[in-house]
Amino acid sequence: MPLSADQNSRLSQRGLRDLGDGIARPHYDRGGLARGIVHLGLGAFHRAHQALYTEAVVARGDLRWGIVGVSLRDPRVSEALAAQDHLYSVTERHGDDARTRVVGALCDALYAPRQLEQVIAAIANPATAIVTSTVTEKGYSQNPASADLDIDDVLVRHDIANPQTPRTTLGVLAAGIRRRSAGAPLTLVCCDNMASNGDTLRKLVVQYADLFDAKLARRIEAEIGCPNSMVDRIVPAATPVSLEWAAARLGLRDEAAIVCEPFTQWVIEDRFAGIRPAWEDAGALLTSDVRPYQAMKLRLLNGTHSALAYAGQMGGLETVSDAMAHPLVGGFARRLMLEDLRASVAAPSGYDVLAYCHELLRRFENPALAHRTQQIAMDGTQKVPVRWLPALRESLVAGVERPQLERALAIWLHYLAAGHSDNGAALVISDPGAEALAARLRRAANDTDAANAALAHSAVFGTGPWPPVFAGRLARHLSTLRQGGMTALLST
């Protein structure tokens, strides 16, 4: 603990010298940073993931890659960062081990609804070669049933009518690209947990642009790079407790402090329109095909995470490590990952998937991370179709039963319909798409109707039919859950 620093004063450029010796910090000239990257969605994940890869590149002397961060929905992070010279700390913790670094690569933090002109100008700036994004699955205005642009969305309609003053991610991107001069190559790197995330972003932004400026749409198709990427690091949202902990460690207040796990991975398709940071020097893997990595990570990590989240919520288990320590829930998560999900994954070449699974389970058990099951449970109607349903459908087509995955699905549906945990505590469900599905479940006359009504909800389950035997098993699970809760289902 640094003795000279005052825990009540704020992290700042000047305050860097007061930090304790054990805390890494930027030693390069921050004032000399060019603004080569714009990032949309300035949440904890970006700051603990892509920004750290960039920080390592900048620290090696390539000052072209300062980041202009943009918040699209909530001003709090950009305000907190502006008040501390855009510096923030990242502490990697596993058990009792902790390593802290203050990151300097962020040059600016804008709040789009208030500073839209600056955001558009930053994307249009010829020095900007990359726009990265972490705006969550629902931030791309995609219609889940068709996988195309959701043209009925009110914000999309607003942006099509007012392309100069957009509110959506796609609208902001298109407005910036529209203003860029020709001959300044730009690459969009989508870093959200979606299959073929780069291809998806390209399709959506082209569909959006086509609605008001066909020339712009053709230009995006021809000139903009959209590599797919797989991102991985467990980064829980900050809490008052984690901020206090960071302040005690730094000896300074850091209102944007992050506490995350040590593990980090980034696999990016090497398909850039122009220059890019040498992220491989910081450990990123640049490769020609990201899809096997994406499928492996979305199914094994995110798929198991979602199951832990819903079982955890039903069992009153606050964090992922609590859920892993619960004999029934932990055992269920292990079998789900090691048996059902692993069998559905084709390994990337040279990859030991079993070792990957064991490492994942160890990461989930990390007691130093308060990763709340409620956080992971958010937006299930966006996550489940990516994390569980492809594996389930492929297996059913092949005539293979996936008992753990089917139980996970039943627990999620029960969670949506019940609205309270097994011991009666009210659940906080944060998912704009949930109500439509929950209403179908609640209206059903019995469990068979409920299973059929859920599977017919195309926004989540797609338009292809599901086998009746599978619907029958799901109905039986729903009935067990209704009568005895999650514990009864996982004890069978």
Kindly write out the interface string for residues 164-183 of this chain, putting x where it contacts ligand CS2 by CB under 6 A and - elsewhere: --------------------
| Candidate residues 85, 92, 108, 232; the one interacting with ligand CS2 per rule CB under 6 A | 232
Name the residue among 402, 391, 401, 409 with its Cα closest to residue 478.
409
| Cβ proximity to ligand CS2, 7 vs 265, nearer residue | 265
**Two structure tokens written together for 47:** 């700051």
| Cβ proximity to ligand CS2, 234 vs 409, nearer residue | 234
**Two structure tokens written together for 479:** 């009935």
| Residue 313 contacts ligand CS2 per CB under 6 A | no
Residues 6+ positions from 79 with CB-CB distance below 8 Å? 111
| Candidate residues 376, 392, 408, 455; the one interacting with ligand CS2 per rule CB under 6 A | 376
| Residue 13 contacts ligand CS2 per CB under 6 A | no
| Cβ proximity to ligand CS2, 207 vs 229, nearer residue | 229
By CB under 6 A, what part of segment 189-228 binds ligand CS2?
A: 193
Report in angstroms how near the CB of residue 301 gets to ligand CS2 at its nearest.
Answer: 6
| Size of interface with ligand CS2, in residues (CB under 6 A) | 10
In 366-462, which residue ranges form alpha helices assigned H by DSSP?
373-377, 380-387, 389-397, 403-418, 434-443, 447-455, 458-461
Name the residue among 96, 70, 359 with its Cα closest to residue 234.
359
Residues 6+ positions from 476 with CB-CB distance below 8 Å? 447
**Two structure tokens written together for 368:** 């130093």
Kindly write out the interface string for residues 334-373 of this chain, putting x where it contacts ligand CS2 by CB under 6 A and - elsewhere: ----------------------------------------
**Two structure tokens written together for 225:** 């790079």
Stretch that binds ligand CS2, among 11-19, 116-124, 219-227, 231-239 (CB under 6 A): 231-239
| Cβ proximity to ligand CS2, 182 vs 355, nearer residue | 355
| Candidate residues 46, 47, 93, 233; the one interacting with ligand CS2 per rule CB under 6 A | 233
Other beta carbons within 10 angstroms of residue 459's beta carbon come to 15
**Two structure tokens written together for 39:** 């990032």
Report in angstroms how near the CB of residue 78 gets to ligand CS2 at its nearest.
Answer: 21
| Candidate residues 174, 234, 256, 410; the one interacting with ligand CS2 per rule CB under 6 A | 234
| Candidate residues 253, 305, 372, 414; the one interacting with ligand CS2 per rule CB under 6 A | 305
Kindly write out the interface string for residues 383-402 of this chain, putting x where it contacts ligand CS2 by CB under 6 A and - elsewhere: x-------------------
Please give the angle made by the CA atoms of 372, 375 and 376, to the nearest 5 degrees: 95
Question: How many angstroms separate the CA atoms of 202 and 219, rounded?
Answer: 12
| Cβ proximity to ligand CS2, 143 vs 375, nearer residue | 375
Strands (E), 204-335: 229-232, 258-260, 265-269, 285-287
Stretch that binds ligand CS2, among 1-9, 60-68, 221-229, 300-308 (CB under 6 A): 300-308
Name the residue among 174, 31, 172 with its Cα closest to residue 115.
172
Report in angstroms how near the CB of residue 27 gets to ligand CS2 at its nearest.
Answer: 29
CB 278 within 8 A of CB 285: no
- Sign of the CA dihedral 34, 38, 43, 48? negative
Please give the angle made by the CA atoms of 5, 11 and 13, to the nearest 5 degrees: 100
Question: How many angstroms separate the CA atoms of 122 and 309, rounded?
Answer: 38
Stretch that binds ligand CS2, among 140-148, 299-307, 321-329, 463-471 (CB under 6 A): 299-307
| Residue 302 contacts ligand CS2 per CB under 6 A | yes
In 162-290, which residue ranges form alpha helices assigned H by DSSP?
169-179, 197-210, 214-223, 240-250
Report in angstroms how near the CB of residue 379 gets to ligand CS2 at its nearest.
Answer: 8
Report in angstroms how near the CB of residue 380 gets to ligand CS2 at its nearest.
Answer: 9
Q: What number of residues does the chain have?
A: 492
Report in angstroms how near the CB of residue 261 gets to ligand CS2 at its nearest.
Answer: 9
Report in angstroms how near the CB of residue 285 gets to ligand CS2 at its nearest.
Answer: 15
Q: Which residues lie near ligand CS2 (CB under 6 A)?
A: 193, 232-234, 301-302, 305, 375-376, 383
